[in-house]
Amino acid sequence: MNMHLGKNREELFKLKAAGNKDIAELTDFSFIIQKDIQVSFIFLNDWKNSFGKKCWKLQMTRKNVRKQFYRVAKFSKWFVSTN
């Protein structure tokens, strides 16, 4: 089966080298589509990584706000009870 695929590839490049407009158009289109898919994948991967980091920072910020709120609330109760 691999020999069949290799033969088709050789034929494809021969036709392209011979100036076959249909083959040139097909390979150019294929190249453009591959690049679009690669760019989309890279963008999506970067977005997922960035989104994960932002969610983690947001989670840490929420934990910190909650911690500080309860710290101040406890201090306020103590301050009110001692005065």
Locate 13 and state its tokens. Answer: 């490049």
Least confident range from 3-12, 24-33, 55-64: namely: 3-12
**pLDDT tens, residue by residue, 30-81:** 877 788 888 888 888 888 778 878 777 777 787 888 888 888 888 777 666 6
Tokens of 9: 């590839």
Block residue for tokens 């190249």 = 31
**Residue 17 CA: distances (Å) to CA of 3, 9, 33, 45, 52:** 21, 12, 21, 37, 47
Residue 64 exposure: Cα atoms within 13 Å on the Cβ side: 6
In the predicted structure, residue 15 carries a pLDDT above the cut 80: yes
pTM over 0.85: no
Q: Where are the alpha helices (DSSP H) in the chain?
A: 2-17, 21-82
Predicted local confidence at residue 5, as pLDDT? 44
What Rg do the C-alpha atoms of the chain give, in angstroms?
31
pLDDT for residue 80: 61
The pLDDT value recorded for residue 2 is 42
